[in-house]
């Protein structure tokens, strides 16, 4: 089973992502800000994919992606989900989904990386 870390501050979006990805037999862990995401990334099992929002309190998705890219797990695919695509540091992300995005687009891109 592939493990996905979802970092999203909007509870509704986070819940939808967890439900959709869990229904596809992915193990999904989710947190609500970048600091929690980094802590979970650093202290738990290996993740096969990280999906993060860009605009979040405490630490944004760009900072999360830069942390991962500078870690010993730098090869893990990272996707951004955002309503502000122009704010995403494109060099840090393998894909960017612009909100609102379809669930089919989410599934398609996730399946291409895990």
The pLDDT of residue 45: 72
Helix/strand/coil (H/E/C) assignment for every residue in the chain: CCEEEEECCCHHHHHHHHHHHHHCCCEEEEECCHHHHHHHHHHCCCCCEEEEECCCCCCCHHHHHHHHHCCCCCCCCEEEEECCHHHCCHHHCCEEEECCCCHHHHHHHHHHHC
Q: What mean pLDDT is reported for the chain? A: 95
Q: What is the pLDDT of residues 19-52, one digit of tens each?
A: 999 999 999 999 999 999 999 999 987 899 999 9
**Mean pLDDT (whole number) for 4-18:** 97
The pLDDT of residue 44: 80
Superfamily of domain 3-113: Response regulator (3.40.50.2300)
Which residue ranges make up each domain of the chain? 3-113
> Does the structure show a pLDDT above 80 at 9?
yes
Q: pTM for the complete prediction?
A: 0.95
């Amino acid at each position: 089973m592939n493990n996905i870390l979802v970092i999203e501050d909007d509870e509704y979006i986070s819940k939808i992502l967890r439900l959709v990805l869990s229904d596809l037999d992915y193990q999904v862990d989710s947190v609500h800000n970048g600091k929690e995401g980094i802590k979970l990334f650093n202290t738990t099992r290996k993740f096969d994919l990280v999906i993060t929002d860009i605009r979040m309190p405490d630490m944004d998705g760009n900072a999360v992606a830069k942390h991962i890219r500078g870690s010993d797990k730098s090869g893990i695919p990272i996707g951004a989900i955002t309503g502000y695509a122009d704010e995403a540091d494109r060099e840090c992300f393998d894909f960017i989904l612009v909100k609102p995005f379809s669930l089919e687009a989410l599934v398609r891109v996730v399946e291409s990386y895990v």
